[in-house]
Amino acid sequence: MILPWKNQQITFERFMDFCLYDLEQGYYTTKQEIFGPEGDYYTSPYTHQVFAYCLADAFVHYFQLLSRPGPFHLVELGAGEGFLGRDILTRLQDAHPRIFEGVNYCPVELGEDPPEGIHGIVFSNEFFDALPVHRVRARESEIREIYLHIDGGISELEGEVTDPRILEYMKTGFREWKEGHEYEVNLKMIEMVEDLDRRIDSAFVLTVDYGYDWEEYQAIDRPQGTLLCYHRHQVVTDPYANPGRQDITAHVNFEVMTRTSEKLGWKSEPLTTQRVFLHKWGLEKHLENEEARGILNPERLEERLGLKTLLIPGGISDTMKMLVQQVRV
């Protein structure tokens, strides 16, 4: 990747945006294989369809709770290749055909806007953790923004924060901070929530992502923050290695997400793990069905390994969080 800046100072947000989303060189815009065994990492939709089946069963329940009947929007933010949406629709068609008839699936990818007048469900899997973030460092009682100086190589330096919303975000999301520690500030997440609020008439919003509430941020010890990169199934801690060839993510601050949306009148259910959510929405029943349909046969080993990746203790279903919110329901 050729960086377009020479002898210039830019925010980390600008750098991350360029590395992931530049139309000609960005990771998400140009890389062929991102997910799965040939790519850089797995997301739950690439492990096994039972993930989508549990979501579909939950969605049927949410559709039924909406104050007026269908047609319903089913909006997926950051849908990627659309595997999750496809598997959810398959499950709705097979098990809930009357609801399926009234569902208008709207995948939203880069450069596209969610529809107006949403009545239904807005959901996302690993969308908010892929939005470009500002990075800051706590210095005595002051918050300093981390800038990049690009001049042949990349070096970091500290300066004044670029946006007054950053301090507000820090107070809401972390309440207090530790001297010398680094934190990520996802202003694009706030803008996205505010934009969704303008577009929603009545909806459930389901967010699946890596992240913490403020108590978890207090408990963890991550002086360098939660920024992580993925390259060929390896975790890379250096965001400046492989620019444009590796994924860069930052954990979602669920404290900021819930507080921002609650100011807009949204109601949040308690944050849970993906595992708790899957159990609530029929995981055992789906596993029994898969067994009855021969998933233990030797030729379905690949599928079984996918299930293992989804359900292994300490794995993706324990680290992923699920947030369900009601907007004018």
Ligand X SMILES: C[S@@+](CC[C@H](N)C(=O)[O-])C[C@H]1O[C@@H](n2cnc3c(N)ncnc32)[C@H](O)[C@@H]1O
Residues in the site for ligand X, rule: CB under 6 A? Answer: 28, 35, 43, 45, 77-80, 84, 108-110, 125-127, 130-131
Is the CB of residue 23 less than 8 Å from the CB of residue 31? no
In the block, residue with structure tokens 């969080």: 321
**In the complex, which residue's CB is closest to ligand X?**
78
State which residue, 32 or 141, has the beta carbon closest to ligand X. Answer: 32
Is the CB of residue 91 less than 8 Å from the CB of residue 56? yes
State which residue, 47 or 261, has the beta carbon closest to ligand X. Answer: 47
Is the CB of residue 200 less than 8 Å from the CB of residue 327? yes
Write the CA distances from 249 to 157, 214, 227, 299, integer angstroms: 21, 19, 6, 35
According to DSSP, residue 133 is labeled -
Residue 19 corresponds to which amino acid?
Answer: C
Write the CA distances from 133 to 164, 195, 259, 275, integer angstroms: 15, 18, 18, 27
State which residue, 84 or 228, has the beta carbon closest to ligand X. Answer: 84
CB of 86 to ligand X, least distance (A): 12
CB of 7 to ligand X, least distance (A): 29
State which residue, 51 or 217, has the beta carbon closest to ligand X. Answer: 51
User: For residue 131, what is the enclosing H or E element?
Assistant: none
State which residue, 28 or 214, has the beta carbon closest to ligand X. Answer: 28
CB of 21 to ligand X, least distance (A): 6
CB of 155 to ligand X, least distance (A): 27
CB of 44 to ligand X, least distance (A): 7
CB of 132 to ligand X, least distance (A): 8
Residue 172 corresponds to which amino acid?
Answer: T
Token readout for 148 is 């990049």
State which residue, 45 or 120, has the beta carbon closest to ligand X. Answer: 45
Query: What CA–CA distance (Å, rounded) separates 43 from 249?
Result: 13
Write the CA distances from 326 to 67, 201, 264, integer angstroms: 12, 11, 11
CB of 247 to ligand X, least distance (A): 7
CB of 107 to ligand X, least distance (A): 9
Is the CB of residue 200 less than 8 Å from the CB of residue 122? yes
In the block, residue with structure tokens 């807009």: 264
3-state helix, strand, coil in the chain (%, to 5): 40, 25, 35
